[in-house]
Amino acid sequence: MRRIPWLWAAALAAYAFLYLPLAVVVLFSFNDSALNASWVGFTTAWYGKLLSDPAMLQAAGNSLFIAAVSSTAATVLGTMAGISMQRWRPRFLPFLVLTPVAMPEILLGVSLLLFFRQVLDLTLGLFSILIAHITFSIGFVAIIVRARLAGMDESIFEAARDLGASPWRGFVRVTLPLILPAIAAGFLMSFTLSIDDFVITFFVAGVGVTTLPLQIYSMIKVAVTPEVNAVSSLLMALTLTLIALAARFAPETLKGSR
Amino acid sequence: MALLEIRNVTKRFGSLEAVKEVSIAIEAGEFFTLLGPSGCGKTTILRMIAGFDAPDEGELFLDGRPLSGIPPEKRPVHTVFQSYALFPHLTVAGNIAFPLEMAGKSRDEIRRRVNETLALVHLEDKGGAYPDELSGGQKQRVALARGLVNRPRLLLLDEPLGALDAKLRERMQVELIALQREVGVTFVFVTHAQQEALALSHRIAVMKEGRVEQLDVPEVLYSSPRNRFVANFIGTINLIDVEVREASRQGLRLAAAGLGEIAAPPQAGATAGARGTLALRPEHIRLSPPSEKPELKNHFAGTIREYLYLGDVTVYKVALDNEVLLEALATNGAPGRARFHEIGDRVNVAWRHDAGAYLAS
């Protein structure tokens, strides 16, 4: 391959544009100053302050709880959808499952809000957030599980039946172990999506319940404090870890996608 | 009573009739082959025996009991898939143990039978290996072992040698025959390779477009094909348009345009005046220099047009004087002499009066 200097420079500039702000956030979360202006000295005080802030802890707890429950449910449902899409090739199911993935978040947020309030007359809160997060996560799990199945020889599943396994035993002994990495990757992806989500959660959260992204948003309405930097850094670390884990479990499905 | 009876079975996929009114009876202990080009319905029949597809008409009987409604896992029938379909997450021993576990056998029995079967396919030292660590031939043996370990009434083999290279294929053919003889399980084998079918089978059903064209032992199939399709599909054959002059129990007298009379073995159903085809195998044709007086009853003058030297044999293309082109096979039995005729040589083309088969269609 020929090296084109200006292309490399452009790439470098683009990456700098993407990652420098993140680096600044992390850097200033360790800055010993209440202002995000200049470097004063190293401290972990802001992390300490974070851990003693009850509102912040409450929001983090909510976020983790919502992520755990919604990604578990989405993983079960998404796995089922992924398997049936591969095995029976239904014509319309892929659209039903994958549309929320492609839909602009703001649209999904507004429509879910209207649906919960106007149609179901639901009180917004933990439950409505859970339903919303499950809805947009199912598609991601289904895509990953299906991609894994598509790469496999289908006669393996027939062989299980042929050799005496009932459909259920065949699933437990053959299908499940083979798609487990994809299921794990799908779970981690939904966990990440749930914990990071702002737009949809903003619409369906109501007044009582706050998640971490909502909490950060309400804090920066006042000022970008080092505390915000600290909690953002933590969220970033968690997200990167989850994505890295997911990529390890299903490298073939995450390459090139989100 | 036949072990497996396929009675008047028809299978459609949409508007396509994949299998049309097929009736076959397979006896216990047989090595039975379904032979035909791709799309002839042979794999569909296999899938109906295994239980993955159900016939639209007709019925299959195993030991006299109808198979309809019985799911694949409840049939004493196992399959060796074309792709082997080994479970990649289980070891070789785990793969072979799978059908035994599903059948609820005890741990001791499973261990004993897995070891026995590993020995049967000469893979004693590979029990702990995973499928992707094996060569093609080894995978093949594991698939066979897995299919045989729980002693099915029938073992179905779907082009199992298709993915192997020529040398290995030949070796696996020999192993397959020995294995079938040793375990005594009835094999139903599907292939499009006619040579493989001839080498392995007790009986062969030649299929075309969903129908059985001929069902016979290999020798009969080869020497007395029933029609042009079977004649052409199995081995190489010369086809000469003829008219029947006289038909009797002793033999046929045929006439070919521009050649004269040909004597052929008797054929039921051939009547004087009928038009048909004489099918003649290349190895039944003798070529000799015009100086030698031919001793065989059928002999004609011809010219060598082409030859293919294949080492053990040489294939000659020879044109008769009526421009009919025949293929003749000469064995290179004499040391130091590989060729007997050159292109353009005049030769005598001769064959015995009992060689060839008259085909009405």
What does the pLDDT look like over A49-71, one tens digit per residue? Answer: 888 888 888 998 999 999 999 99
Residues of A in contact with B72 (CB under 8 A): 158, 161-162
What pLDDT sits at residue B326?
Answer: 93
> What are the Cα distances from residue B106, in Å, to A105, B97, B102, B149?
55, 11, 11, 14
If you measure CA to CA, which chain A residue comes closest to B156?
A162
- If asked whether residues B248 and B310 sit together in one domain, one would say yes
pLDDT band at A256 (very low <50, low <70, confident <90, very high): very low
Q: Does the beta-carbon distance from B73 to A155 stay under 8 Å?
A: no
Among A239-248, B238-247, B283-292, B332-341, the least confident range: B332-341
H or E element, residue B328: strand B325-331
Among A247-256, B202-211, B298-307, B345-354, the least confident range: A247-256
The pLDDT of residue B12 is above 60: yes
pLDDT tens digits, residue range B42-81? 999 999 999 999 999 999 999 999 999 999 999 999 999 9
Q: How many domains does chain B have?
A: 2
More confident residue, B187 or B267: B187
Nearest CB neighbour to A163, from listed B71, B82, B102: B102
Domain region containing B46: 4-229
Q: Does the beta-carbon distance from A164 to B50 stay under 8 Å?
A: no
pLDDT band at A117 (very low <50, low <70, confident <90, very high): confident
What pLDDT sits at residue B336?
Answer: 64
pLDDT band at B145 (very low <50, low <70, confident <90, very high): very high
Tokens of A204: 């369906």
The pLDDT of residue B335 is above 90: no
What pLDDT sits at residue A252?
Answer: 58
- If asked whether residues B190 and B245 sit together in one domain, one would say no
- If asked whether residues B158 and B249 sit together in one domain, one would say no
Shortest Cα distance from B201 to chain A (angstroms)?
24
What pLDDT sits at residue B337?
Answer: 61
- If asked whether residues B311 and B343 sit together in one domain, one would say yes
Q: Does the beta-carbon distance from A155 to B87 stay under 8 Å?
A: no
Residue A65 lies in a domain: yes
* Predicted complex ipTM: 0.82
Task: Over range B126-147, report the average pLDDT.
Answer: 93
Q: How far apart are CA B342 and CA B339, in angstroms?
A: 8
Question: What percentage of chain A carries pLDDT values higher than 90?
Answer: 42
Average pLDDT score over chain A: 87
- If asked whether residues B208 and B254 sit together in one domain, one would say no
- If asked whether residues B51 and B82 sit together in one domain, one would say yes
- If asked whether residues B177 and B279 sit together in one domain, one would say no
Task: Over range A99-115, report the average pLDDT.
Answer: 89
What pLDDT sits at residue A258?
Answer: 35
Residues of A with CB under 8 A from a CB of B: 153, 155-156, 158-166, 169-170, 173-174, 177-178
Task: Over range B5-28, report the average pLDDT.
Answer: 94
pLDDT band at B35 (very low <50, low <70, confident <90, very high): very high
Shortest Cα distance from A170 to chain B (angstroms)?
9
Shortest Cα distance from B98 to chain A (angstroms)?
7
Residues of A in contact with B83 (CB under 8 A): 153, 155
Q: Does the beta-carbon distance from A164 to B99 stay under 8 Å?
A: yes
Best mutation target, A156, A162, A166, A174, to test chain B (most B CBs within 10 A): A162
Residue B3: count of CB within 10 angstroms of its CB: 19
Residues of B in contact with A166 (CB under 8 A): 71, 73
Nearest CB neighbour to B78, from listed A153, A162, A178: A162
Specify the DSSP class assigned to residue A5: H
Residue A1 lies in a domain: no
Q: How far apart are CA A72 and CA A78, in angstroms?
A: 10
Residue A35 lies in a domain: no
What pLDDT sits at residue B259?
Answer: 85
The pLDDT of residue B266 is above 50: yes
pLDDT band at A206 (very low <50, low <70, confident <90, very high): confident
Task: Over range B153-162, report the average pLDDT.
Answer: 92
Q: Which of B229, B249, B273 is the last residue of a domain?
A: B229
- In A105-239 the beta strands, taken as DSSP E runs, fall at none
* Strands of B31-35's sheet in order across: B77-80, B154-158, B186-191, B31-35, B203-208, B211-216
Residue A101 lies in a domain: yes
Q: Highest mean pLDDT: which of A88-102, A110-124, B200-214, B323-337?
A: B200-214
The pLDDT of residue B185 is above 60: yes
Using alpha carbons, select from B105, B283, A102, A90 the residue that is nearest to residue B114: B105
CATH number where B325 lies = 2.40.50.100
Residue A2 lies in a domain: no
Shortest Cα distance from B145 to chain A (angstroms)?
12
Average pLDDT score over chain B: 91
Task: Over range B172-196, report the average pLDDT.
Answer: 92
What pLDDT sits at residue B86?
Answer: 96
Residues of A in contact with B98 (CB under 8 A): 160, 163-165, 173
Task: Over range A148-176, report the average pLDDT.
Answer: 93
- If asked whether residues B8 and B104 sit together in one domain, one would say yes
Q: How many domains does chain A have?
A: 1
If you measure CA to CA, which chain B residue comes closest to A166?
B73
Q: Highest mean pLDDT: which of A11-25, A124-138, B157-171, B200-214?
A: B200-214
What pLDDT sits at residue B54?
Answer: 95
The pLDDT of residue A75 is above 60: yes
**Complete DSSP assignment for B194-237:** HHHHHHH-SEEEEEETTEEEEEE-HHHHHHS-SSHHHHHHSS--
More confident residue, B38 or B162: B38
- If asked whether residues B198 and B297 sit together in one domain, one would say no
Residue A6 lies in a domain: no
CATH number where A113 lies = 1.10.3720.10
What pLDDT sits at residue B167?
Answer: 84
The pLDDT of residue A101 is above 80: yes
Q: Which of B180, B196, B229 is the last residue of a domain?
A: B229
If you measure CA to CA, which chain B residue comes closest to A163?
B99
What pLDDT sits at residue B204?
Answer: 97
Residues of B in contact with A163 (CB under 8 A): 73, 78, 98-99, 102, 146-147, 150
H or E element, residue B265: none
- If asked whether residues B205 and B333 sit together in one domain, one would say no
Q: Which of B206, B229, B252 is the last residue of a domain?
A: B229
More confident residue, B332 or A183: A183
Tokens of B336: 């130091």
- If asked whether residues B121 and B162 sit together in one domain, one would say yes
pLDDT band at B192 (very low <50, low <70, confident <90, very high): very high
Among A28-32, A130-134, B355-359, the least confident range: A28-32
Residue A127 lies in a domain: yes
CATH number where B58 lies = 3.40.50.300
Domain region containing A123: 50-254
What pLDDT sits at residue B296?
Answer: 85
Contact B75, B51 (CB under 8 A): yes
H or E element, residue B252: strand B252-256
Contact B129, B91 (CB under 8 A): yes
Q: How far apart are CA B163 and CA B83, in angstroms?
A: 8
- If asked whether residues B23 and B128 sit together in one domain, one would say yes
Task: Over range B268-279, report the average pLDDT.
Answer: 88
Residue B185: count of CB within 10 angstroms of its CB: 18
What pLDDT sits at residue B339?
Answer: 64
Q: How far apart are CA B256 and CA A152, in angstroms?
A: 57
Question: What percentage of chain A carries pLDDT values higher than 70?
Answer: 96
